[in-house]
C-alpha cells in the first residue's frame, strides 16, 4: 500500500477514529492527499502509523508540544527502538514494541486484500470471503453477538479461524458508507439466523 486511510489506521493501531482525525487536525501528523473521484482521501504513511500507535499506547496523554516532538522524531528515525522524551517527563518511549505491532497488523491488512472480494453480481457488491457468498460483515456481526469461531465454522466450514478472526478488522478498516437499514443478505434465512445450516448453498461463488 502507498498509504492508509484514517479508518485503516484506526484498525491497525487500535486508536479511535476520532482521535486520528484530531491528530491530523492538530498537525501532529500530516497525511498526503489523494484525489478519489469527487472526494479527496487523506493517506497516512507507515511512519505516521507508527506515531499513531504510540498515541494509542499513551503518548496522547502528554502535552501537545511534547507529542509534536515525538512525532517529528519518529518521522526522522522510524527505525529507532527507544526514544527519550526531551524537555518533558523523564521517560523513554518504546518505539520498537509499537513498530512490531504495527508491522503485524499491516501484514494482516495486506492479507485482507487476498481474502475478500466485492462483486456486483454477489449480494449487490457486499464484501464476501473470496470463493464464497459469505459476507464479511455477517461474520463480524456474529462475533459481536457472542458466537464463537467454532460455532461459525460449523455453519460455514469453508471459512477458517484465521479468516473469521480478520472479519472485525476488515469492517473497521473498510466501514460501509450509507449503510442501508436492511443488509442484502437479510432476506436469506440461511444467512440471517444463528442456526448455521450446512446446506445453505453459500459455500461456492
Question: Fold for domain 118-192?
Answer: Arc Repressor Mutant, subunit A (1.10.10)
Of 52, 173, 53, which Cα lies nearest the Cα of 101? 53
pLDDT in tens, 91-140: 789 999 999 999 999 998 888 888 999 999 999 899 999 999 999 999 99
| 190 pLDDT above the threshold of 60 | no
pLDDT in tens, 56-104: 999 999 999 999 999 999 999 999 999 887 665 567 899 999 999 999 9
Name residues whose C-beta falls within 8 Å of residue 47's C-beta, 6 or more positions apart in sequence: 74, 75, 78
Hey, what CATH class is 6-110 in? mainly alpha
Q: Are strands 32-36 and 128-129 parallel, antiparallel or unpaired?
A: unpaired
Domain ranges of the chain: 6-110, 118-192
pLDDT for 175: 87
Amino acid at each position: 500500500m502507498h498509504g492508509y486511510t484514517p479508518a485503516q489506521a484506526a484498525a491497525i493501531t487500535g486508536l479511535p477514529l476520532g482521535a486520528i482525525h484530531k491528530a491530523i487536525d492538530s498537525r501532529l501528523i500530516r497525511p498526503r492527499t489523494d484525489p478519489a473521484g469527487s472526494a479527496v482521501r487523506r493517506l497516512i504513511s507507515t511512519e505516521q502509523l507508527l506515531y499513531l500507535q504510540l498515541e494509542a499506547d499513551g503518548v496522547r496523554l502528554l502535552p501537545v508540544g511534547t507529542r509534536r516532538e515525538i512525532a517529528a522524531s519518529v518521522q526522522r528515525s522510524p527505525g529507532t527502538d527507544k526514544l527519550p522524551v526531551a524537555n518533558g517527563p523523564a521517560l523513554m518511549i518504546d518505539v520498537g514494541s509499537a513498530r512490531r505491532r504495527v508491522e503485524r497488523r499491516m501484514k494482516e491488512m495486506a492479507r485482507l486484500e487476498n481474502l475478500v472480494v466485492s462483486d456486483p453480481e454477489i449480494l449487490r457488491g457486499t464484501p464476501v470471503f473470496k470463493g464464497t457468498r459469505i459476507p464479511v460483515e455477517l461474520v463480524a456481526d456474529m462475533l459481536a453477538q457472542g458466537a464463537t469461531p467454532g460455532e461459525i465454522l460449523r455453519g460455514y466450514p469453508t471459512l477458517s479461524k484465521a479468516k473469521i478472526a480478520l472479519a472485525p478488522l476488515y469492517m473497521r478498516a473498510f466501514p460501509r458508507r450509507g449503510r442501508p437499514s436492511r443488509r442484502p443478505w437479510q432476506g436469506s434465512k440461511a444467512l440471517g439466523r444463528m442456526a448455521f445450516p450446512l446446506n445453505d448453498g453459500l459455500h461456492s461463488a
